[in-house]
Each structure stands twice: as structure tokens, then as C-alpha cells.
Amino acid sequence: MTIALIDYGAGNLRSAEKGLERVAREIGYRHAVALTRDPEVVRSAERVVLPGDGAFPFCRRGVSAIPGMDAALEEFVVHRGRPFLGICVGMQLLATRGIEHEIVDGFGWIDGEVGPIEPDDPRLKVPHMGWNTMDLVNPHPVLDGIPLGPTGLHAYFLHSYAFTTRHHGDLVATADYGGPRTAIVARDNVVGTQFHPEKSQRLGLALLANFLRWMP
């Protein structure tokens, strides 16, 4: 079996692939990283990672445009209950829907919606771009051993839209940008990061290592 990194034409694939490969070597994880568009590879994978850059509608349609991919993801996540990681827009697609230029349904695995960032401080520009610490809301294994809070490690963000979860229990961590913005969500075997772990140095590599060890 493999770590399936889905290639649907949207995402920082090379960096994500290299980050996962590095972490897998360092922790002795025996499964290889497979960059794939093949639904059967996804369906039978040990773990799946879905990256994403750009607009919610573009990314959602990009996944659906691969014949059989929606069904493969449903089989993997819902029926097999295997570990899934969404990154940036890949995390946003976990939502019930996205409101970006138009209303588009997400996967619906975590209740909530993705809407525009509206900072409390009008001096803050959108997109939210740069390095931020995070505050813990609900503990999760992917954050084991990672220092958070004002003196914690930093993660790299680049986004104009944010995920608002319907249920407090699905919110793992927030980052402050003119108000708390969702940084990590999780439910059951699914976890998503708004930031890019593959670009987030120590924090990102530690989170990826925890994801590969995670047994939901």
C-alpha cells in the first residue's frame, strides 16, 4: 500500500511529495509516496493526502473531473475509515460547501462552510499571507509534541477564504488574523490544515510525521 498524494492539477505537489518522503524516511515509515490520478490507487492506499491551491470551485471540480475519484475518496474515507489529510484548499473541500464567487458543495465530511476572510482590523490585508503561531482549541494526535501558543512554532499561511466549522469539536487549532481563523480541523479519520505543512519547516515536518503515525 502507499501514501496516495492526489494530482488533480491544483496544489504544491512537488513540495508536498518531498516533505512526505523526507518524513517517511526519518521515522522509518514503510509505505512509499505515490503521486497519482488513479482512483484505484487512492481506494487501496494506506493514507491519502489531498493538496490544493487556488479557488474552491476550481479545486472541487478538478477532483470530480477525474473519472471515479469522488467514489474512490468516499470509499477510502467513509467506508474504509483510513487516515486522510487535506492541505489548504484540500482542507477547505472537507466542508459542506464553499462560498467563493459561487456556492459549491464540498465533500461534506466536516460540517461547516468556507467564506471570505473579513479581518476586524481594516489595516490587515487579504489574503492572509505569512507566518503565524496557532492556538489549540481541541487536542489532536497530529499536534503531539508540537509547541503552540504565542511562543510556539510558526506555520505558513496563504489564503483569502476560511473554514467556519459548525461544531466546536471539529475545530483543532486557530491562527489570529484580525480574529481567530481556522487553522486545523478534524473529525474521525479526517484532518485538514489551512496552512501548508510542506512549507512550514519544523512545525510542518513534525505534523506530517504525526500524520503518518496516526492510527484513528
**What H or E segment, with its residue span, contains residue 166?**
none
Q: Report cis status (omega within 30 of 0) of the bond before 141.
A: no
Question: Is 167 a catalytic site residue?
Answer: no
Catalytic residue among 128, 140, 159, 196: 196
196 is catalytic: yes
Question: What does the alpha-carbon distance between residue 106 and residue 52 come to, in Å, rounded to a whole number?
Answer: 13
Q: Which of 88, 100, 113, 159 is catalytic?
A: 88
Active site residue 168: no
| 17, 100, 113, 198: the active-site residue | 198
The number of helices, as runs of H, and strands, as runs of E, in the chain is 6, 14
> Which three three-digit cell numbers place residue 103?
456556492
Non-local (6+) Cβ contacts of 4 within 8 A are 34, 36, 41, 42, 45, 47, 48, 49
Query: What positions carry a catalytic annotation?
Result: 88, 196, 198
